[in-house]
Amino acid sequence: MTKERLYLFDTTLRDGQQTPGIDFSLEEKAAVAAMLDRLGIDYVEGGYPGANPADTEFFQRRRTHRAVFTAFGMTKRAGRSVDNDPGIQALLQADSAAICFVAKSWDYHVRVALGATNEENLQGIRESIAAAKAAGREAMLDCEHFFDGFKANRDYALACAKTALEAGARWIVLCDTNGGTLPDEISEIVKEVTSVVPGEKLGIHAHNDTGNAVANSLAAVDAGVRQIQGTLNGVGERCGNASLTTLIPTLMLKPAYHERFEIGVTREALATLTDVSHAFDEILNRTPDRQAPYVGASAFATKAGIHASAIVKEPETYEHVKPEEIGNRRRMLVSDQAGRSNLLAELARFGLEVDRKDPRLDGLLADIKAREAAGYAYEAADASLELLARRRLGHVPAFFEVEGFRVDVERRYNAVGDLVTVSEAVVKVKVNGERRMSVEEGNGPVNALDRALRKDLGDLSSAIEDLELVDFKVRILNGGTEAVTRVLIESRDGEGNRWFTVGVSPNIIDASFEALLDAVVFKLVKTMPEMQAAAE
Amino acid sequence: MTKERLYLFDTTLRDGQQTPGIDFSLEEKAAVAAMLDRLGIDYVEGGYPGANPADTEFFQRRRTHRAVFTAFGMTKRAGRSVDNDPGIQALLQADSAAICFVAKSWDYHVRVALGATNEENLQGIRESIAAAKAAGREAMLDCEHFFDGFKANRDYALACAKTALEAGARWIVLCDTNGGTLPDEISEIVKEVTSVVPGEKLGIHAHNDTGNAVANSLAAVDAGVRQIQGTLNGVGERCGNASLTTLIPTLMLKPAYHERFEIGVTREALATLTDVSHAFDEILNRTPDRQAPYVGASAFATKAGIHASAIVKEPETYEHVKPEEIGNRRRMLVSDQAGRSNLLAELARFGLEVDRKDPRLDGLLADIKAREAAGYAYEAADASLELLARRRLGHVPAFFEVEGFRVDVERRYNAVGDLVTVSEAVVKVKVNGERRMSVEEGNGPVNALDRALRKDLGDLSSAIEDLELVDFKVRILNGGTEAVTRVLIESRDGEGNRWFTVGVSPNIIDASFEALLDAVVFKLVKTMPEMQAAAE
């Protein structure tokens, strides 16, 4: 049985740009477009030329090779000709292979928001599509508020779709603009629309306002549409658009879909999806969502003692898809309930092959449990766990020794009478038997400590030049008088590696210093394998 | 037409505890249980007594009043009697109104993971349910991997459900344990199950591994189940469970559901949902998801763009539900009309009656917006907000003045050669024109500062004797180089009053001191009304 082709339309650079807090630079837009092109997306909507200078500049040339580079804009306004509508002209001047027009398909909005007649709106659709076609472009129509419009005035909503079809639109996209429609309604309404517009010319544009953007997209496909609009990691206005990052694996790995459909993404490209998702977060300078379907760091992580041992035995009966298919991996979290098999799996991941009967395992396991009971959260601090294991197994050289440190934070009036706070840290270390003291100021005690610690480690300094502290989380455990402070630190290096370390102490400075120390030592272990080998 | 009752079962404290990075303390579990009880959840699953000491201790007494407090655990193991199964005994000893057993319903797992026979597994279900009933508890069964099990061996999966039903289980919950099932499959399979177990005794437990946890839960309800299991903000193993925070508004506000069903949550409670969601994030020390359906800060936000102006005209035609219904609000990133009336309501809550036209309101409003933009989280720090308002309105006397402080944290070897860390703080204040210096040690810089600050405030000291710092939370905002630290402090006094204060600064010590200062001044304001009056 031959499969039907499903088309993916990405609007990360247009609807995604509407996300509160997201504001792409030209360079970022170019990077995202290239990323989507490599991934195998069919249409990349680059933005709204004419709406703002950045988008206009972005459309001075085509930004994709395989994907159809698409410009977004409104249909012709009522009361003026296509030639006299600056919006339309900006779209026709933009260097895109396709134009996606948006038009109201809810008669109420035509009247209230546009102050136009229903026929004027249809005329706008007809002439805009025709103008794009005449200019040799692929034309499509986003029907705004289609589902609400359909419920309010079925015939008019359908008339908008039909008009676009007759004018030569390749795609008529049904938009759930406010995101309030539920899967059942989507499928009922789409089925009715297919009696007017053939499914192979219909698209769906879903938002996540009820948490159903993905389900609504799938329901629309089941009901006949053949184009799905969405965004990377589900960014988009309000609660976001349908996440292509979630839909792509479902379409490619779930029998219900891959047996009936094929998309432009290859298996090889699918295996890069986790990286693509994280690279996009890097561009947005966001911490990746650990719980994201398929690509999240926790998507294939198991903490439960009750499952862990069995999963190690036979992962496929516990995982709905293979993590490797999307470039993700299985994670066994060492936690309270964790057992020997968990630990062995983790050690293997660290590249530490240990015999199941190795007596050192008991010591390590006891160690981990005692420390987790004391507040260490190793499931959130891989690097500290790996260091703990390597130390127990004798794989960590004593790179340097910390003799002590001091931190002063003082708030006082400075010479010109302003109240200022100065943080200063002194760290005393021994490297290769040589004593070194460093003093640094920082915008806080931890920052000062971090800088003083890394200021001068002798020969080791070069290895940690590119180390950077990116996040710092503090938690007070079992609040009250015997409160213990847990500090989680996220570090990053030049190659974009990220690792997490943890420190626990009644004293926040001690806890922070412990996590900082682990962050540095972990980096040294990774960049100096030869010293590591020497230690074994 | 009378509505059918739908039951909500919350597993935040059990499945949510499996979330990588989440590790509730006893106090946090109690706080979450109380929160869920107030919200109107029907069943609150508190954890797994017997699995770890914390959960066992949590079940030493019932933690909810309205909600059915539920314990989770495995069914009887093969080859031993109920009396000799420590797991079952721990459940029977736990003080819960209901017991939710989990059992394999996939014959493959019975054989491979349990190494038991199908009949032994059924016997475990039968006798475990019976034992719970005999102990006067409400009993229910979570059928693990039910959907995969059903596809592999329909009859056996159904036999598990039927066995529980016949043994007297109130609920048989169909679990999509690995989260891989899609909405269509869910509804097909649930329909078949209803031929064996009546829908009013069926529940659904969905995970978000394909981004369909919410859709799967709704599909199951449409197919007949009457209990939904989920968690606050969708926390849970791997990609999380179905989010009750998303499902509750859909069930109460969407005609397709509220016309057919009713749940235990009142309209008044629904209006607190946004606060509940954020309060839960505070407990987790997580940044709330701005794009979360219904409760996210962006859920009703519109960027100045093609929609904004029209939305101001007629919001209801652009919003799928009213933000106020869930205690959220519209955010127009162009202008914010909500501000003033919100503020007046807050002030009234503090007992500050201010005229709507009072010019000082504009200054205060501007102040609050500027400070919130800088990182102050007033929704989580009432006391600091009240102080800010009282200061602007001239209701706060200058109790004392801080001239400066100094904190030293030093790690060094002590006389007997142990590595110790000593924290010492000096605070210089002026009370009634009189200069006072205090020095104190603490188990950390903040504790030392707190003690030094309160050590000697002259005549004021008596008023703050019973003040106690109970919790301290730190978060780094907009990570990276310009990172700003936000410190939230919870204080308590002898009468059990609790109040929250906030401090923000690039320097964690400055931020902490600001929050400590607010905590002390707030207490003074409350205990010295006469001085306050004098200030007016």
Mutate to test the interface with B, among A14, A102, A209 (most CBs of B within 10 A): A209
Mutate to test the interface with A, among B153, B182, B185, B309 (most CBs of A within 10 A): B182
- Tens of pLDDT along A20-70? 778 788 888 999 999 999 999 999 999 999 887 889 999 999 999 999 999
B218 contact residues in A (CB cutoff 8 A): 182-183, 212
Instruction: Extract the tokens encoding B506.
Output: 């690039």
Nearest CB to A507 within list B285, B444, B476: B444
Instruction: Please tell me which residue of chain A has the smallest CA distance to B177.
Output: A318
User: Given pLDDT bands bounded at 50, 70 and 90, which one contains residue B448?
Assistant: very high
**Residue A502 DSSP label:** E
Nearest-CA distance B247 → chain A (Å): 8
Nearest CB to A299 within list B238, B250, B313: B238
B132 Cβ neighbours under 8 A, 6+ residues apart: B91, B92, B99, B101, B138, B139
- Tens of pLDDT along A140-194? 999 999 999 999 999 999 999 999 999 999 999 999 999 999 999 999 999 999 9
In this prediction, residues B359-376 reach a mean pLDDT of 83
Burial (0-12, 13-18, 19+ Cβ within 10 Å), A173:
buried
In this prediction, residues A232-254 reach a mean pLDDT of 97
What gap in Å lies between CA B296 and CA B233, rounded to an integer?
Answer: 10
pLDDT above 90 covers a percentage of chain B that reads 68
Nearest CB to B408 within list A18, A243, A406: A406
In this prediction, residues B63-74 reach a mean pLDDT of 97
A403 contact residues in B (CB cutoff 8 A): 413
Nearest-CA distance A500 → chain B (Å): 12
8 Å CB contact of B210 and A254: yes
Q: Which pLDDT score, from 0 to 100, does residue B261 have?
A: 98
Q: Which pLDDT score, from 0 to 100, does residue B338 have?
A: 44
Residue A295 has pLDDT above 60, yes or no: yes
Computed over every residue of chain B, the mean pLDDT equals 90
DSSP string across A299-329: TTEE--HHHHHHHHH-GGGT-SS-GGGGT--
- Tens of pLDDT along B147-171? 999 999 999 999 999 999 999 999 9
A313 contact residues in B (CB cutoff 8 A): 112-113
Residue A90 has pLDDT above 90, yes or no: yes
Mutate to test the interface with A, among B406, B507, B514 (most CBs of A within 10 A): B507
Residue B219, classed as helix, strand or coil, is helix
B479 contact residues in A (CB cutoff 8 A): 287, 470-472
Nearest CB to B413 within list A313, A404, A480: A404
ipTM of the complex in this document: 0.77
B234 contact residues in A (CB cutoff 8 A): 291
8 Å CB contact of A379 and B20: yes
User: Given pLDDT bands bounded at 50, 70 and 90, which one contains residue A336?
Assistant: very low
Among A387-391, B273-277, B467-471, the minimum mean pLDDT is found in B467-471
Residue B310 has pLDDT above 70, yes or no: no
Nearest-CA distance A206 → chain B (Å): 13
The candidate with the shortest Cα–Cα distance to A109, out of A117, A119, A101, A98, is A117
Residue B173 has pLDDT above 70, yes or no: yes
8 Å CB contact of B314 and A513: no
What gap in Å lies between CA A323 and CA B12, rounded to an integer?
Answer: 26
Q: Which pLDDT score, from 0 to 100, does residue A482 have?
A: 64
A292 contact residues in B (CB cutoff 8 A): 239
8 Å CB contact of B290 and A21: yes
In this prediction, residues B472-495 reach a mean pLDDT of 78
8 Å CB contact of B291 and A19: yes
Mutate to test the interface with A, among B24, B209, B302, B312 (most CBs of A within 10 A): B209
Among A378-387, A407-416, B305-314, B370-379, the minimum mean pLDDT is found in B305-314
Mutate to test the interface with A, among B232, B277, B509 (most CBs of A within 10 A): B509
Q: Which pLDDT score, from 0 to 100, does residue B291 have?
A: 95
Burial (0-12, 13-18, 19+ Cβ within 10 Å), A114:
middle
User: Given pLDDT bands bounded at 50, 70 and 90, which one contains residue A393?
Assistant: confident
What gap in Å lies between CA B161 and CA B202, rounded to an integer?
Answer: 9
8 Å CB contact of A108 and B319: no
DSSP string across A373-436: HTT--GGG-HHHHHHHHHHHTT------EEEEEEEEEEEEE-TTS-EEEEEEEEEEEEETTEEE
Residue B27 has pLDDT above 50, yes or no: yes
What gap in Å lies between CA B482 and CA B213, rounded to an integer?
Answer: 37
In order of start, what are the domains of chain B with their CATH numbers? Answer: 7-256 (3.20.20.70), 400-456 (3.30.160)
Residue A99 has pLDDT above 90, yes or no: yes
Residue A535 has pLDDT above 60, yes or no: no
Computed over every residue of chain A, the mean pLDDT equals 90
User: Given pLDDT bands bounded at 50, 70 and 90, which one contains residue A511?
Assistant: very high
In this prediction, residues B66-93 reach a mean pLDDT of 96
Q: Which pLDDT score, from 0 to 100, does residue B137 have?
A: 98
Q: Which pLDDT score, from 0 to 100, does residue A4 have?
A: 97
Nearest CB to B20 within list A235, A301, A505: A301
Q: Which pLDDT score, from 0 to 100, does residue B334 have?
A: 41
Give the angle B407-B408-B411 at the CA atoms, nearest 5°: 150
Q: Which pLDDT score, from 0 to 100, does residue B317 have?
A: 78
| Higher-confidence position of A343 and A525 | A525
Nearest CB to A298 within list B20, B219, B297: B20
Residue A221 has pLDDT above 70, yes or no: yes
Residue A536 has pLDDT above 60, yes or no: no
- Tens of pLDDT along A425-448? 999 999 988 999 999 999 899 999
Pairs of residues, one from chain A and one from chain B, whose beta carbons lie less than 8 Å apart: 308
Nearest CB to A421 within list B178, B234, B509: B509
Residue B199, classed as helix, strand or coil, is helix
User: Given pLDDT bands bounded at 50, 70 and 90, which one contains residue B365?
Assistant: confident
| Higher-confidence position of A111 and B531 | A111
B177 contact residues in A (CB cutoff 8 A): 318
- Tens of pLDDT along A494-506? 888 889 999 999 8
8 Å CB contact of B20 and A290: yes
**Distance, C-alpha A402 to centroid of its chain:** 38
8 Å CB contact of B446 and A508: yes
Q: Which pLDDT score, from 0 to 100, does residue B312 have?
A: 61
Residue A14 has pLDDT above 70, yes or no: yes
Q: Which pLDDT score, from 0 to 100, does residue B345 have?
A: 74
Q: Which pLDDT score, from 0 to 100, does residue A480 have?
A: 46
8 Å CB contact of A320 and B210: yes
Q: Which pLDDT score, from 0 to 100, does residue B480 have?
A: 47
- Within a 10 A sphere around the Cβ of A515, how many other Cβ atoms? 30
